Amino acid sequence: MSHSVEIKKLDLEFGPVKVLQNLDLNINEGEFLVLLGSSGCGKSTLLNCIAGLLEVTDGQIFIKGNNVTWAEPSERGIGMVFQSYALYPQMTVRGNLSFGLKNAKVPKAEIDKRVARAAEILQIEPLLDRKPGALSGGQRQRVAIGRALVRDVDVFLFDEPLSNLDAKLRVDLRVELKRLHNQLQNTMIYVTHDQVEAMTLADRIAIMKGGKIMQLSSPDEIYNKPRNLYVADFIGSPSMNFLEGHLEGGTFKVDDMVMPMDGYEFVEAQPSDRPVVIGIRPEHVVTGELVKNLPLQYQVDIDLVEPMGSDTLVYAKLGKHPFRIRMDGQAVVKAGQTLEIGIDTSRASLFDKATEDRL
Partner 1 sequence: MANVDQLGAAVAANTVIGPRGPKPRKRFSRNNIFLYGTLIVVGMYYLLPLYVMIITSLKGMPEIRLGNVFGPPLEVTFEPWVKAWAEACTGLDCTGLSKGFWNSVQILIPSVVLSIAVASVNGYALSLWKFKGSEVFFTILIIGAFIPYQTMLYPIVIMLREIGLMGDLWGLVLVHTVFGMPILTLLFRNYFASVPEELFKAARVDGARFWQIYFQIMLPMSLPIFVVAIILQVTGIWNDFLFGVIYTKPETYPMTVQLNNIVNSVQGVKEYNVNMAATLLTGLVPLVIYFASGKLFVRGIAAGAVKG
Asked whether position 175 contacts partner 1 by CB under 8 A, the answer is no
Comparing CB distances to partner 1, the nearer of 7 and 51 is: 51
DSSP string across 104-136: TT--HHHHHHHHHHHHHHHT-GGGTTS-GGGS-
Closest residue by Cα to residue 6 from 55, 70, 56, 59: 59
Peptide bond just before 238 cis, omega within 30 deg: yes
CA 231/CA 358 separation, integer angstroms: 10
Residue 77 engages partner 1 in binding (rule: CB under 8 A): no
Q: Report in angstroms how near the CB of residue 154 gets to partner 1 at its nearest.
A: 13
Cα–Cα dist 207/37, whole Å:
6
In the bound state with partner 1, the residue whose beta carbon lies nearer, of 114 and 281, is 114
**Which one, 86 or 171, has the nearer CB to partner 1?**
86
**89 is a site residue for partner 1 (CB under 8 A):** yes
Q: Say how many residues touch partner 1, by CB under 8 A.
A: 26
For position 307 contacting partner 1 by CB under 8 A, the verdict is no
- Check binding of 74 to partner 1 (CB under 8 A): yes
Candidate residues 22, 67, 84, 218; the one interacting with partner 1 per rule CB under 8 A: 84
Does the footprint of partner 1 cover residue 72 (CB under 8 A)? yes
Of the candidate spans 87-95, 229-237, 239-247, 274-282, the one that interacts with partner 1 by CB under 8 A turns out to be 87-95
Closest separation in Å from C-beta 208 to partner 1 = 20
Examine residue 133 and tell whether it contacts partner 1 (CB under 8 A).
Answer: no
* Site map 31..70 versus partner 1, x via CB under 8 A: -----------------x--xxx-----------------
Which stretch, 26-34, 88-96, 172-180, 203-211, contacts partner 1 (CB under 8 A)? 88-96
Percent of the chain as helix, strand, coil, to the nearest 5: 30, 35, 35
Shortest Cβ 161–partner 1 spacing (Å): 11
Binding of residue 134 to partner 1 (CB under 8 A): no
Closest Cα partner for 327 from 274, 289, 270? 289
Q: Which of 2, 66, 90, 338 binds partner 1 (CB under 8 A)?
A: 90
Report if residue 103 touches partner 1, rule: CB under 8 A: yes
- Min dist. Cβ of residue 3 to partner 1 (A): 22
Piece of 99-107, 178-186, 272-280, 295-303 that binds partner 1 (CB under 8 A) = 99-107
In sequence order, what E strands does the chain have?
3-14, 17-28, 32-36, 58-63, 66-67, 78-81, 155-159, 187-192, 204-209, 212-217, 241-248, 251-254, 257-260, 274-280, 285-286, 298-307, 311-318, 321-328, 338-343, 349-352
Number of alpha carbons in the 13 Å side-chain half-sphere of residue 137: 14
Q: What are 302-306's contacts with CB under 8 Å, separation 24+?
A: 302/333, 302/334, 302/335, 302/336, 302/337, 302/338, 302/339, 303/335, 304/335, 305/333, 305/334, 305/335
Residues near partner 1 (CB under 8 A) are: 48, 51-53, 72-74, 78-80, 82-84, 86-90, 99-100, 103-104, 144, 147, 151, 159
